Amino acid sequence: MAKLFIMLVRVLGLAAIVLGALLWTGRQPLLAPHIGCGFLVAIPVFVLALIALLRKAVIPGILGVLFAVLLPVVGFMQLPLTFHALGGIQVAHIILALLTIGVAERLYSATRSAH
């Protein structure tokens, strides 16, 4: 089951990053798909975190919950959008997105080794 969730994070995370880059160039219609992909990344990260917690991988599980919640919160802090501006909140969101994918990979590893 964890394999499905990590594959969703990988594919949808890449899609969200590409959509975010295109959105930054001023393509306003891509906002809703970007937000949707972001939530569809956060949900499986949250589920992987719960699986890790159930398998006694406490630190990765707590980090997973934290990142799954922070990703959309920091994303929404960017609204209303200012295109072509790369401020601190945008940089934080990009770094957080990449870290969230990394945390998901760690969660997947933790769920596999905790059997």
> pLDDT tens across 34-69, in order?
999 999 999 999 999 999 999 999 999 999 999 999
At CA 102, angle to CA 39 and CA 89, rounded to 5?
60
| Contact by Cβ (8 Å): 20, 97 | yes
Which alpha helices (H) appear in 1-115, and where do they start and end? 2-24, 31-54, 58-76, 88-113
Residue 115, pLDDT > 90, answer no
Handedness of CA 47, 49, 94, 98 (dihedral sign): negative
CB distance 16 to 41 below 8 Å: yes
Q: What is the mean pLDDT of the chain?
A: 92
